[in-house]
Structure 1
Amino acid sequence: MTLDRPALSRALAATPAASAEGIADVHSALCRREAPAFQRAARSGEELLIGCTQESRLFLELAEQTEGAPPLAERPIRFFNLRETGGWSRDGAAATPKLAALIAAAQLPPPEPVATVGYRSAGRCLVVGPAARAEAAAALLGDALDLTLLVDGGALAQRHDQVVLRGRLTRLTGWLGTFEAGWQSANPIDLDLCTRCNACIAACPEGAIDFSYQVDLARCTAHRDCVAACQAAGAIDFGRNARNEEARFDLVLDLGELPTLAMHQPPQGYVHVPPGAPLTQAVLQLRGWVGEFDKPRFFRYEQRLCAHTRNQQVGCSACIDVCSAQAIRSDASLKGKTAARGRGSVGHPTAGIVVEPHLCVGCGACGTVCPSGALSFAYPTPADLGKRVRTLLRTHAAAGGRDAALLLHSQEEGTAAIESLGRAASIGRAHGVPARVLPLAVWHSASVGLDVWLAALAQGASQVWVLTGSTEAPQYLQALAAQMAQAQAIVHGLGYAGQHFRLIPAGDTAALDEALRAPPAQGVAQAASFVVQADKRKTLELALAHLLAQSPQAVPEAIALPAPGALYGSVRVDAAKCTLCLACVGACPSQALSDNPDQPQLRFTEKSCVQCGLCQTTCPEDAIRLEPRLLLADGGRARAQARVLHEAEPFHCVRCAKPFGTLRAIETMLTKLAGHAAFQGAAAERLKMCSDCRVVDMYSNPQELRITDL
């Protein structure tokens, strides 16, 4: 690496980092001949940050063996990558601002821990598939797991070492430690009772029984010699009805051609190995899934913000559609009912959705596509991630860096791709990560969305790129692309030139090397100082306000946004259809739609609209349509002001003259009920009265009181 110690020291001293105290020493062989320098630092008791991840094991061992050094439990050592991400590049000599930014970000404390989700497995494993394949797997797992084999064809071995059942798997649900399986068995021979003595095979005159120990009913002609031969075991019963059985397991090994659980991210504890594929990796996984385990609860859910359903009407389903683990389900059908839930489920019988934390794999895509912020990623929180992004950008700029491109990548596949690129650059076979590109590892590439992207642009980034891996679910890529289309439409509409957002595949090193050398796009003249909020909509408002204030040109009154996936927009009301029943007001989860208590009006505050569509699906007159857009009139202030979408002349009570309802609504009701026998004479007249006068009139004329009035 090319390291300019004085320049790097000056850069760190000029940055906003809290502990930027300059650099005393720069080492080129710290993990070998200069190791005593590390040991001296270890004895100091100060926090240690190592800018290389290659020899982390060696450094930890040296720290433990260094006399006078505090125990690692009291003073942990943290490692971060300076070499492949910045130093090993043809831009290495110009990478001082970038190295300063990476060092400053590494000094930030780790995110606060979150609640965990627990699993408990005793090793009860169901193996499903052809007999020979299932028994081969059992030979590798039998010493560690309690096995049950559910086979669907093929000869069985003579030895009977495990519980073996014959049947067709009909149902499988659950996760590690709680799988529930159901299967159907219809053969006269019960494999659990069969001793495999072969007497039935020898006795059958039609050869309808073979070493699968099942009767081929198409060949059997009811001699029943097999029944007589099996009297001692009693395993054969032709009068046995087809049986539906079920049991609970901790683990499932599925050896069928197609997976029973076909989601992109199957639950932990379930492994599918198709025919012909080696069993080695699956065996290692299953053997390791015995005991008690924890994982972070990756999400936060606020029911009050959810725009999925109101009054049995379904609106936004973005989180359900994007979840590759099928961990999110609609709760609309459970309104007003008591719902049975899995342990630790989040939700309520009247809530919009239910999220099962045991199935959640932590991709964070649900929070990325959620328009209201009801779902958010918790590990780290948007505020924690935003602090890291802000530190990178501020430090890079303070150290003299320009046109920063923020490269978000996953901690595993993305990190490996960047390290491969740096390795190729070290031997001259690639350019390497450019000096202006700031890599930032996140838990999953789909966990960061529009709020953080736009905040990064407002805080001085020229571009935001997301590195995607080959194992990403297709719906993740579609969701990220749709969100980037929203972001790019907003930024272009505000007058910023260039391509600011990109999805970059991580699979090919040469293609990645070329993609990272894309030219910069136009950014803000002055970086914003706000911090990312926990509330997604608040962060978006802060970012949009700064981008609007810094816009390089006059902006239009509104920017059209692509659909679906728009987080902002208006609603159009067909005045010829609307009766001002205000059902849409009751359905709106964000209070974007409201009424006027003093007169018949439907009002709308565009800033609050999340484009969920609940108003559109609720409207009984089909009078509402969504209009995805970002309103910029009056410097963006018009978005926060309520405006009237529709109003009508009020209808006045014929008894007291108090206004109630609308003239059109009452006239429509009178027309529809004109021929109804229950609404004639005085009853029809009462339809023109307010609720108070209607009661007074009914009891003033008791001889005319009807059941329909009551």
Structure 2
Amino acid sequence: MSTQFKVCSCNRSMPLDAAAGAKLGEALGTGALPVASELCRRELGSYLQPLQGGDDVVVACTQERALFTELAQQKQAVATIRFVNIRETGGWGADAKQALPKMAALLAVAALPDPEPVPVVGYESGGHVLIVGPAARTLPWARRLASQLDVSVLLTDGRSDEILQDRSFPIFSGHKVRIGGWLGAFKVSWQQANPIDLETCTRCNACVDACPEQAIDLTYQIDLDKCKSHRDCVKACGPIGAIDFMREATDRSGEFDLIFDLSEAPTIALHQPPQGYFAPGADPTRQLNDVLKLTQLVGEFEKPKFFSYKDSLCVHSRNEKIGCNACIEVCSAAAVSHHGNHVTVNPHLCVGCGACTTVCPSGALTYAYPRAPDLGLRLKTLLSTYAKAGGTQAALLFHSKEQGADLIGRLGRMVARGGKGVPARVIPVDLQHTASTGIDLWLSAVAYGAANVAVLLTDEEAPQYVAALTQQMQVAQAILTGLGYAGTHLQLIRATTPVQLESALHGLQPAQAPVARAVFNVAAEKRTTLDFVLEHLLDCAPHQPEEIALPAGALYGTVSVNKATCTLCMSCVGACPASALMDNPASPQLRFLEKNCVQCGLCEKTCPESAITLTPRLLLTDVAKQARVLNEAQPHHCIRCNKPFGTLQMIDNMLAKLAAHSAFSGNLDRIRMCADCRVIDMMENKNETLITPSISELKRQR
């Protein structure tokens, strides 16, 4: 199946003509592309004609996407239609005449087949909303929403001029509110703090009339600062029993589909709260915007499952020792949690930022929307087409599909007022979230020929995301600098206005790229991709160092062992989840395969003698791929059968520690025996009541 490209100069506002169409077609391998000037108006027929065919259609216009889509539906088009923006991304700009290579690259990527679909996560909401907050905010909104949603109210402060009238919706009161869950499955708990239970109260006003301090208003809550404990209200309430100053059972709970939190401070204080939770506080504009969203969240919904987790690669924990905790610490939605020796990601809480996959050193967590190989194919296609069309010193700009794309669009439209627009060599790459890419994809882009890789940060990223991206970029840049590639290849761009973005993009200085573009494809596993990347970058490197020092937090490094204190107990070998530390069945040796080490720190934390130290670095010689001995010792031989077991140092340490112990002092020779001979010796001395522990038990007692 081929692809037909529909390119338009947008009423001749872009430098696109027949000659440009020929160059684009040459780069795309399609032959000269016809260039329209009014594709959405006078030349609409050239768009409609291919829709009934079997070819895919790429329309180089997003301005009129709605029109083109509607026309395709009317024609019952069988063709797959994709849209790409070449106008604001470069066709409108101070150097638009040099932007043809970028346009070709964007068109080529738009023509790529859709990735394989990913699993989805489902939500089901019946529209049962809990409105939380003071009465002055919650009750007016509750009355407005009661006709559209199934409303309940939780008053955290009942004192106001509001009046509770008929029972059109349930009303509770309480404090110490706790909210957990997600759209369609929120669980809320609170404590009944006021003596009046609003669910039992009949609003008869008997307590209001009876209170001598006027401590009860028409929200039917008692102001305990005014109350003098006359208990006249209790008598007035009588058998209704809504007022109880001595209430012991104060815990309350409920399940809801949606939460509208009007408290001063959000009850869920997360940068990325769960789907279905809205906390506009006292801001009336935000309240109105959130109400509009609330009313649309009734029914069944789906979202992609953004991540894939392979627990066999996880280096989070072993034997109740925590090693790598990066994914848990970086998640701004509290979707990642500790679960035994591994982690659990709640797909309903996951918002698709991908930061956990970016910081994961082993590749146990990978991003799935898109998958790494799919995004890698986009990058490879972009950069190869750009180069084929004559482009040089390409700079990739990763940005979010929402705020980032909007900011780039605003920058492009500023050209009409004298702005420079997006530079010709800067190629935008849209992402679900800017935190979803890391060192493997950035360095792959450099290997494919990019002179710069920039990530656009607006005001939507959590602070921990920015910190994680900064750390990852420091590691990646250290590798490139260590290999002798000149310049700054990786950069975070912080901008919230078109002027800021324009200044940053035009200030990017091209860094040195490899002399040859890589041909490998990005793999599903991060470290496999990095193996390909590092091999290519080293082959083309201006310098050929044996090792590169890396900053803290790097995913490569070495392990050092203090031979004076290491007893070769092999605890570190049992703890290592990456098979970087190994023993030798034939000899007391601790061996290390640096290529496998992810610097999780489990060996360091597990070592009972604190004999292990981690050092981040990238070893580029074949030594990294070969097991090397970190420590070895002379084996101890059984004093009965002469079979080797343990080490001399380990046995000597045990003897020194147990010699003064009354339970062992009379049987120290058994510690010098192998397990078989120890049993034989005990059987020969049946009258002894003492049973000597095994070597493994002795290790634990140290």
Match of 2:270 in 1: 263
| 1:125-524 mapped onto 2 (5 Å cutoff) | 125-153=129-157, 154-155=159-160, 156-160=162-166, 161-231=168-238, 233-278=240-285, 279-332=287-340, 351-425=341-415, 427-517=416-506, 518-524=508-514
| SS across alignment from 1:81 | coil
| Equivalent residue, structure 2, for 1:688 | 672
- Do the aligned residues in 1 keep the contact of 2:635 with 2:645 (CA within 8 Å)? yes
**TM-score scaled by length of structure 1:** 0.92
- Provide closer, same or farther for how the CA distance between residues 704 and 192 of structure 1 changes in structure 2, counting only shifts above 3 A: closer
Aligned-partner Cα distance in 1 for 2:244–2:438: 61
Match of 1:567 in 2: 555
Is 1:595 paired with 2:595? no
| SS across alignment from 1:638 | helix
1:222 deviates by 4.2
Q: Measure, in 2, the Cα distance between the counterparts of 1:571 and 1:22.
A: 57
Q: Give the Cα–Cα distance (whole angstroms) in 2 for the partners of residues 400 and 469 of structure 1.
A: 32
- Code of the residue aligned with 2:89 in structure 1: it is T
Aligned partner letter, 2:294: L
Unmatched 5+ stretches in structure 1: 333-350
Distance 1:437 1:677 in 2: 77
Show the counterpart of 2:699: none
Q: 2:337, 2:345 within 8 Å by CA — same for their partners in 1?
A: yes
* 1:13 aligned residue: 26
TM-superposition CA deviations, 1:14-55 (whole Å, max 9, x none): 45xxxx312341001111111122222334443211101000
Deviation at 1:170, TM superposition (A): 3.2
Compared with structure 1, are the counterparts of its residues 14 and 230 closer, same or farther at alpha carbon in structure 2 (3 Å cutoff)? closer
Give the equivalent residue in structure 1 for 2:697: none
The CA distance in 1 between the partners of 2:399 and 2:579, in whole Å, is: 36
Q: Distance in 2 between matches of 1:319 and 1:259?
A: 24
Asked if 1:122 is matched to 2:126, the reply is yes
Q: For the structure 1 residues 441 and 222, does the alpha-carbon distance in structure 2 shift closer, same or farther, using more than 3 Å as the test?
A: closer
1-structure distance, mates of 2:300, 2:343:
28
Contact 1:111/1:384, CA 8 A, preserved across alignment: yes
Is 1:26 the counterpart of 2:46? The answer is no
Q: In the alignment, what sits opposite 2:11? A: none
Q: Is this contact kept in 1: 2:21–2:33, CA < 8 A?
A: no
Identical pairs, percent:
54
Structure 2 runs not aligned, ≥5 long:
1-13, 695-702
Q: 1:208 to 1:90 in 2, by over 3 A?
A: closer
CA distance in 1: counterparts of 2:408 and 2:213, whole angstroms = 66
Residue of 558, 565, 572 corresponding to 1:577: 565
Residue by residue, what CA displacement relative to the aligned partner does 1:256-289 show, whole Å, maximum 9, x if unpaired?
1111100100001111021244321111111111
Is 1:187–1:242's contact at 8 Å kept on the other side of the alignment?
no
CA contact (8 A) 2:109 2:382 kept: yes
Structure 2 CA distance for aligned equivalents of residues 547 and 118 of structure 1: 43
User: Residues 161-219 of structure 1: CA distance to partner in whole angstroms, max 9, x if unpaired?
Assistant: 22111211432111111111111113332211222222221122232322231233444
Q: Deviations over 1:283-332 (max 9, x none)?
A: 11111111111111100000010010001000001101110101001123
Inter-partner Cα distance in structure 2 for 1:33 and 1:125:
50
Listed one character per residue, the Cα deviations across residues 537-585 of structure 1 (whole Å, up to 9, x for unaligned) are 00001000110110113x332111111x201000111111111111001
Within the alignment, does 1:669 sit opposite 2:654 as a pair?
Answer: yes
Match of 2:625 in 1: 640
Q: How many Å separate the matches in 2 of 1:238 and 1:11?
A: 81
- The aligned counterpart of 2:63 is 54
Deviations 1:331-350 (A, max 9, x none): 23xxxxxxxxxxxxxxxxxx
| Counterpart for residue 345 of structure 1 | none
Cα separation, 2, equivalents of 1:467 and 1:294: 28
Cα distance between partner residues in 1 of 2:513 and 2:693? 67
Coordinate RMSD, CA, aligned: 1.7
Q: How many residues align?
A: 676
Deviates more, 1:305-314 or 1:170-179: 170-179
Give the Cα–Cα distance (whole angstroms) in 2 for the partners of residues 366 and 239 of structure 1.
49
Matched, 1:631 2:622: no
1:251 and 1:236 mapped to 2: Cα distance? 30
Residue matched to 2:600: 612
- Kept in 1, the 8 Å contact 2:473–2:490? The answer is yes
In the alignment, is the contact (CA less than 8 A) between 1:4 and 1:96 conserved in 2?
no
Deviation by residue 1:216-266 (Cα, 9 ceiling, x = unmatched): 344444443323332364422344335111111111111111111001000
- 1:709 Cα offset (Å): 5.2
Partner of 1:335: none
Q: How far off its partner does 1:424 sit?
A: 1.1
Cα distance change, pair 446–703 in 1 and its aligned pair in 2 (3 A): same
| Shift in CA distance, 676/84, structure 1 to aligned 2, threshold 3 Å | same
Inter-partner Cα distance in structure 1 for 2:284 and 2:683: 82
State yes or no: 1:92 paired with 2:76: no
- Determine helix, strand or coil for the equivalent of 1:702: coil
Q: Paired residue for 2:82, among 64, 78, 82? A: 78
- Trace 1:102-117 onto structure 2 (pairs within 5 A): 102-117=106-121
> Alignment partner of 1:488: what SS?
helix
Contact 1:118 1:294 in 2 (8 A): yes
Could you tell me how far apart the structure 1 residues matched to 2:17 and 2:654 are? 83
Secondary structure, aligned partner of 1:417 = helix
**Partner AA of 2:175 in structure 1:** R
Is 1:525 aligned to residue 515 of structure 2? yes
CA shift at 1:512, angstroms? 1.2
